[in-house]
Structure 1
Amino acid sequence: MEITAPLGLRDKKRAETRAKLERAAVELVLREGLAHATVDAISEAADVSSRTFFNYFDSKEDAVLGIHDLELTEEAVTEHLRKNDGAGLVESIVKLLFWVIGPSITTTDLHALRMQVVKAHPELLSRHVTQMTRMADQLTAAIQTLLASDPEFAADPVQTRSASADMLLTICSGGVRVAVKEWVTEGSTVSSDPATTDQLEQRAIELVREVTKKIQ
């Protein structure tokens, strides 16, 4: 979904610093435990100041998971629509949400270590809920754009589409949360499997469809 462009020197340095902080956070938790992996300790291990840490993450938990908010620009949403042309609405929304939380489940070399932490501390997954709440306005606006392209919702008044977008965000984000929770609880291993995100997306879609079908 991202529209890629060559990174400038400043962007490269920011990406490197973020990666250092993420690795330091994960390794410290594994070595010292979650309680002892403080922001100060993570910053010291990454050789940056605590003030710099908060330029990248809101909390140590976000650094462990690799969570950072993405800007859902009009161009990004348009690209998402193009890439998912023909997809059902639930499928499209779930894929959008997985793009937002993607860093914590991508198959980098840090991923296996991160999953060890998440399996030991499943409460960390609540940070995804916090992130989606923080990004609710952006996500709702993006979903409204998706609804405007869906024949079932396109003719609805703007206010009605806005309410529908809020409801769909709640339902689909719940499906994503449960799918990831199941994956962690069941002890799935995904250290280098590129199909993992697809599997989680399909499970989330399945969960949403199963529940909504039963309550109709």
Structure 2
Amino acid sequence: MNESATGDLGPRERRRRETYAALTTHARTLTADRGLNGFTIEELCEAVGVSRRTFFNYFATKEDAVLGAKSADPLEPFAQAFLDSGPVAAANGPGSAQPVPLKDAMLELIVQVYASMEVPPTDVHEYMQVMHSEPALMKRMIESARQRQRDLAELIARREGLPAGDPFADAAAALASHLTMSSFERFFGHGEGCDGATEAASAIDETPTEAQERYTALLTEVFDHAARFFQT
């Protein structure tokens, strides 16, 4: 999760981050206090002091505000680096650069997307509460993950020099999406085969850096398990 200081940012970017953080924090507080259906977008906007139009510049739904899931494609800032690490770029670029293995490139991409999330650093406990109490949030997260899966499949096809809709690209994106969701479930204490209560309790006092490190470790672990499976 992004912990960069705001002192080095320009006024416009600083205001954007402050508005994003305020909307997300208030959405989680209202959800914890009233439930997801206990407040409207208008009430959230009034609490933050922004217009409904401003809200939709940041989020597509109320659920997305609670999750901190921006309307913008989270893969976009890292897409070119992902493409540049592949065999198509290596074949067409200067010199004899070796492509990064697809598994490693996908893992790095997902870690980068997670690290770029601007989750306010003081709301980990509240986030845990609302995630456990509101099934609609997990449903929305899954819907968003499916869209990201389609976007990732398109990137994989381009990186590997495959036609759009290629079954390999679709399968690779589906596997990465499943591994990502499995890691999130363990991260939030929902996963099978782990002590959910212990996972959730240990996360309450985490700093954003600790949370990022824990999620990265979980994600790396499940990617490594998947690699072992396909090597047998």
TM-score range, shorter chain: 0.7 to 0.9
Conserved? CA contact 2:64–2:140, under 8 Å: yes
Summarize the alignment of residues 56-205 of structure 1 with structure 2, pairs less than 5 Å apart: 56-68=58-70, 69-70=73-74, 72-73=76-77, 76-77=80-81, 81=85, 89-102=102-115, 108-136=121-149, 138-144=151-157, 147-148=159-160, 158-159=162-163, 162-185=166-189, 186=196, 187=200, 188-190=202-204, 191-192=206-207, 194-205=209-220
Residue of structure 1 equivalent to 2:222? 207
**Distance of aligned partners of 1:193 and 1:47 in 2 relative to their CA distance in 1, 3 Å threshold:** closer
- Give 1:21 shift: 0.6
Conserved? CA contact 2:82–2:105, under 8 Å: no
Residue of structure 1 equivalent to 2:95? none
> Unaligned stretches of 5+ in structure 1?
149-156
Secondary structure in 1 aligned to 2:45?
A: helix
Q: Cα RMSD over matched residues?
A: 3.6
2:40 counterpart of 1:25: no
Stretch deviating more after TM superposition (160-169 or 116-125): 160-169
2:68 counterpart of 1:54: no
Q: How far apart, CA to CA, are the structure 2 residues paired with 1:98 and 1:55? A: 25
Q: Deviations over 1:98-128 (max 9, x none)?
A: 4334566957122332222213235423333
Could you tell me which amino acid in structure 2 is paired with residue 189 of structure 1?
Answer: A
- What TM-score comes out, normalization by structure 2 length? 0.69
> Unaligned stretches of 5+ in structure 2?
86-97, 190-195
Could you tell me which amino acid in structure 1 is paired with residue 184 of structure 2?
Answer: V
- What TM-score comes out, normalization by structure 1 length? 0.73
Stretch deviating more after TM superposition (200-209 or 53-62): 200-209
**Distance of aligned partners of 1:16 and 1:29 in 2 relative to their CA distance in 1, 3 Å threshold:** same
Number of residues of Structure 1 aligned to a counterpart in Structure 2? 202
Residue identity over aligned pairs, in percent, reads 24
Q: How far apart, CA to CA, are the structure 2 residues paired with 1:124 and 1:75? A: 26
Residue of structure 1 equivalent to 2:13? 11
Q: Deviations over 1:45-93 (max 9, x none)?
A: 1111222211110111111111113351577525995xxx997532431
Secondary structure in 2 aligned to 1:139?
A: helix
